[in-house]
Amino acid sequence: MNTIDNQMLVIFGASGDLTARKLIPALFALFKGGNLPENFLVLGASRSDLSDQEFRDKVVQNSPYFKKYGKKETKRILDSFMDKLFYQDLGDSYDVEYGKLASRINSLAAQYNTQGNCIFYLSTPPNMYEVIARNLSEQNLANQKDGWKRLIVEKPFGYSLSTAKALNTGLQKYFEESQIYRIDHYLGKETVQNLLVTRFANSIFEPLWNRNYIEHVEITNAESVGVEKRGGYYDKSGALRDMFQNHLMQIVSLIVMEPPIDDKAEAIRDEKVKALKSIRIMKDEAVLYQNTIRGQYLSSDLMGEKVLGYREEPGVANDSTTETYAAVKFYVDNWRWKDVPFYVRTAKRMPTKVTEVVIHFKSPHHHIFSQSGVIDKDNKLIIRIQPDEGILMKFGVKVPGQGFKVERANLEFYYDDLAETTLMTAYERLLLDAMQGDPTLYARADEVEAAWAFVDPILDYWKNGKDVITYGYSAGVWGPQNANDLFNGKYSWRNPGALLGEDPGFCVIS
């Protein structure tokens, strides 16, 4: 197990939603599990005028995310956890002189003996990231002479390739690349990491993991919710920026990558970057037209309830063409993947919440049982990332009786079946890794830029291209009517069931 130094975590944007919803509950879980160092404290910093006690009340005592705790024993643990939380008001802006903040950090560090080790977590509007890094550096707080310093940066990391590059250069003026941790919470998901283990700790999959045996690869990320209260942010972002450029490209890189030389952070990240750089960038309008589909959800009645269309959501322009559905077909230009199409989609207001990777294997070269209907039923390896994390293999078995009728059977594994295991949430895992100085599950500058390099021309085409259509789809169905056009008639999306083992294809309409 990695060691963990005494340290302080300073959260910028501490009065915001992410702190209360994800960060503090994750820290509490780590505390309860005995994973935090002996000398540890959290200093919240933001533009709200709060005392230490008011901050504790807000993020723990009165927080809806702590409602589930309350029994006597837990109360004791909660109280000692709350003693570790402090707050510093920054005033009206993040762009102020950080003298006061620096003296608070230094005095808390001395009082609680955190040995000068400090993580700065930026959970603020992204245009503040560089500003905060500069102000920290001006107070000598990026300097590692007296204890290490790390910077965790939330998404969105840039709005385009050029803004991501500018942000990288901006942050690297004040912090070394090795100090910067770009968070992508999908990398904290156990099953996303398991993609590496499935591939590289088994000898049954990797020999088949290439163009000789794989017909195509499909990735679906579906959410049943709409944009909720984030219409203002989302309308400027859209599905491609919000989910595809980061979370889905990370998953793609783990499927595409070559075996790393070992499990060290840089070895894995080097291969991921190489994988991302091998994806064929589409620039030609005709190619982009044929290989991308964008859609937007329309109002509908779901389970007896009227659901708003995207344009009716608060904060969304009533003539918005921002996509809530994005599907892209692409190729990877390298030896392993030549001519294997990848189909990747993400969308809101789908029939269910699910993320899964489907590896479709080629049908056998010679069909002995050609009368049995097996030809169109390919072998599949389905890696379910959420909600019911697991792996399912579909393979042919003989139907009992005369002759050789073949049917598909399921071989399933569920993480839940590992009885003694409690899965850490993504934020628990990622925070713990950063505290231990392990950047494996964080995105490196060149990874982020390689992902943007692929996504940028699609965004540009969707914004400025001719013939670009945003298709409507009713909330609660699997996307627009032409969603399967990307497959050119040969296949179609596997619209997953609510549970891994269920047959696909349902939608919720009443």
Which C-beta is closer to ligand BG6: that of 89 or that of 242?
242
d(CA 127, CA 236): 14
Q: Write phi, then psi, for 433 (nearest 5 degrees).
A: -60, -45
Which of 271, 241, 236 lies closest to 257 in space, CA to CA?
Answer: 271
**String marking each residue 169-208 x if it binds ligand BG6 according to CB under 6 A:** ----------------------------------------
- Sign of torsion over alpha carbons 410, 413, 414, 420: positive
Nearer to ligand BG6, 155 or 216 (CB): 155
Q: Which is nearer to ligand BG6, 81 or 427 (CB)?
A: 427
CA distances, 50 to each of 53, 58, 88 (Å): 8, 9, 8
As a whole number of angstroms, the distance between CA 329 and CA 106 comes to: 52
Residues numbered 243 to 272 that lie near ligand BG6 (CB under 6 A) are 243
Provide the minimum distance between the beta carbon of 154 and ligand BG6 in the complex, in angstroms, as a whole number: 9
Give the residue with the Cβ less far from ligand BG6, 136 or 251.
251
Rounded to an integer, what distance in angstroms lies between the CA atom of residue 311 and that of residue 314?
A: 8
Q: Is 242 in the site for ligand BG6 (CB under 6 A)?
A: yes
- Residues in region 39-68 near ligand BG6 by CB under 6 A: none
Q: How far is CA 61 from the centre of its chain?
A: 29
Among 154, 218, 223, 323, binds ligand BG6 (CB under 6 A): 223
Q: Shortest gap between Cβ of 185 and ligand BG6 (angstroms)?
A: 6
Query: Half-sphere exposure (CA, 13 Å, Cβ side) for 335?
Result: 1
Q: Residues in contact with ligand BG6, total (CB under 6 A)?
A: 3
Residue of minimal CB distance from ligand BG6? Answer: 242
Our CB check for ligand BG6 shows the closer of 137 and 224 to be: 224
| 405 neighbors 368 (Cβ within 8 angstroms) | no
Nearest to 474 by CA among 241, 296, 278: 296
Q: How far is the CB of 25 from ligand BG6 (least distance, A)?
A: 14
Question: Among this protein's residues, is 367 annotated catalytic?
Answer: no
- Comparing CB distances to ligand BG6, the nearer of 136 and 455 is 455
Report, in Å, the least distance between residue 242 CB and ligand BG6.
Answer: 5
Q: Beta strand 390-398 with 380-386: parallel, antiparallel or unpaired?
A: antiparallel
3-state SS, residue 222: strand
Question: For residue 21, with 0-12 CB atoms within 10 Å meaning exposed, 13-18 middle and 19 or more buried, which class applies?
Answer: middle
The least distance separating ligand BG6 from the CB of residue 223, rounded to whole angstroms, comes to 5
Amino acid at site 68: K
CB of 326 to ligand BG6, least distance (A): 12
Element containing residue 199 per DSSP (H, E): helix 190-200
Residue closer to ligand BG6, measured from CB, 332 or 347: 347
Query: Taking a C-beta distance cutoff of 8 angstroms, is the pair 6, 108 a contact?
Result: no
Report the amino acid identity of residue 347: A
Please state the closest distance from residue 100 (CB atom) to ligand BG6, in A: 32
DSSP state of 442: S
Enumerate residues 6+ apart whose C-beta is below 8 A from 57: none
Contact 188, 425 (CB under 8 A): yes
Catalytic residue among 247, 365, 366, 367: 247
Cβ pair 370, 245 in contact under 8 A: no
User: Based on CB atoms, which residue is closest to ligand BG6, 253 or 379?
Assistant: 253
Residue 155: CB minimum distance to ligand BG6, A: 6
Residue type, 254: L
- Residues of this chain that bind ligand BG6 (CB under 6 A): 223, 242-243
Active site residues: 247
